Amino acid sequence: MVFPPLPRLEDYSISPTTGFLPDSPPLPLLTHPYYAPWEAVIASLQALILSRNIRHEIDRLPVLSPDHLSSEPEWRRAYVVLSFLAHSYIWGDTTPSEVLPPALSIPYLAVSAKLEVPPVASYAALCLWNFRPIFRDDLFDSLDNLATLQTFTGALDESWFYLVSIAIEARGAAILPIMLDAISSAREDNLDRVVANLQSFAERLGELTHLLGRMYENCDPHIFYTRIRPYLSGSKNMSEAGLPRGVKYLDGSGNEEFRHYSGGSNAQSSLIQAFDILLGVEHRPTGDRKPASGPSGPSAPAKSHNFIVQMRDYMPGPHRRFLEHLAQVSNIRAFVEEHFSNGALTVAYDACLHMLRGFRDKHIQIVSRYIVLPAKDQRRVATGASAAAPRVKSASSAIRVTPTAAAQLQFQNQKPSLPQPRGIAYAPKHQADLRGTGGTALIPFLKQARDETGEPSIGAWAQRLLTNSGSLPALRDAETVKIQGLAGQWLDSEDVGGICHW
């Protein structure tokens, strides 16, 4: 039997060691003096946003051509700079701007077209091309060796939010050659090698879930929700945030129309979508039920309004084409079905699904803590309701408190005033579902994506655990997490919200 060739990673700008991240660190600066005006504004970005002078400075920029960009890293740096400038212009004042000036629009559209990405702060701009290793000779698959190049706020919380995703990309890179070898081994009917590859896949997925759980270490939910998240928003489905018509990119043609783009979203991660393809996980539009034919039946073509499929349009062109090629050759699910009687194989395959579902479970927990609960806090403030009074130990069990300590305790127990939310962080009380930065109501989406991850499971026991008919106590949505500081109190509701989409 003649098989189509397997994709070669290097043909799609993918590294066997860094995956979808560039194999060399992204450029921290455009050194050509022609682009000094861009770099001057981006260097003072936080101060310009804070003083509300960002639009004034950008309006003074000349219209620069991308003709002096001479390498792929330079094009990527230009895309990162223009993405941060554009979103700062749109969201960097009390009301969002529905127009981008020619000084941004003209080069932004050209650079985006060259890189085959949309002109928006996508996952590529925020994460893939926006990092540097602290120690250049060390691997950058560890959070201990990563820093961001750009942020909107200058806050550690914002850097950490991006860096967790970057570390996941770097640590998950090794899975790609492992699974391509699994596909090749399945073609050769090499059961032992497929099992070994699947076991390695499952173990590494566990490492990625651990990295995702480290989000709590340095990213405070309140700061993320009120200060950072608004800048990540796109222009699609953003009426409540102040952009009912989208954004118009002034290019000098006089024929400009309003554009609608999703903002940065982890659904734009080619790595996570590759995992789904490799394991045969299929996602449906939110609200669609599982077909009656079951997971082993023929697959229907993905609908155009499937959010996960739509997010491929926000990936760099070569990465998008890699996923298309991968889908043509993926055979692991069929191979496991064919060898259903091999216990080691079915257990290894189901373990991968279990770990990938666990990854998505962890993400739902993070969405709940970083979006749902801050949104409820904002609604409570908007309606004038007061927060629950803190519990205090009885006098008989309390230690002696000095007047100074009593004053400090009183100060600590006071509810801090919340900054006025803007854009997507504004949660009007009549709004049923908050929007994720990608422009969709995300908790229903995330839960469905998680449940779909378990649908291809083979063993009867795994099917009970990984589908809605069963439960995983260790991976429940409202898992208790001890958080200190401003993130110290949590509720256990997940009915609205979303950060990003895995």
Report CA 242 to chain centroid distance, whole Å: 23
Cα 344 from Cα 326, distance rounded (Å)? 25
Binding residues for heme b: 363
Classified as helix, coil or strand, 108 is helix
Reading the block at residue 436, the tokens are: 């994720």
Pull the structure tokens for residue 170. 């770097």
The rounded Cα 210 to chain-centroid distance in angstroms is 16
CA 456/CA 337 separation, integer angstroms: 10
Burial class (CB in 10 A: 0-12, 13-18, 19+), 277: buried
Question: Would you list which residues are annotated within the binding site?
Answer: 363
220-242 per-residue burial string, b: 16 or more CB within 10 A, e: under 16? bbbbbbbbbbbbbbbbbbbebbb
- What does the angle CA 304 – CA 309 – CA 314 come to, to the nearest 5 degrees? 115
Which residues fall within 8 angstroms of residue 276, CB to CB, at 6 or more apart? 282, 283, 308, 356, 453
Question: What is the residue-wise DSSP string for 321-383?
Answer: HHHHHHHHH--HHHHHHHTTT-HHHHHHHHHHHHHHHHHHHHHHHHHIIIIIHHHHHHHHHHH
* 248 phi/psi in degrees, rounded to 5: -100, 125
DSSP 296: T
CB distance 376 to 491 below 8 Å: yes
E-only strand ranges, 193-308: 247-249, 258-259
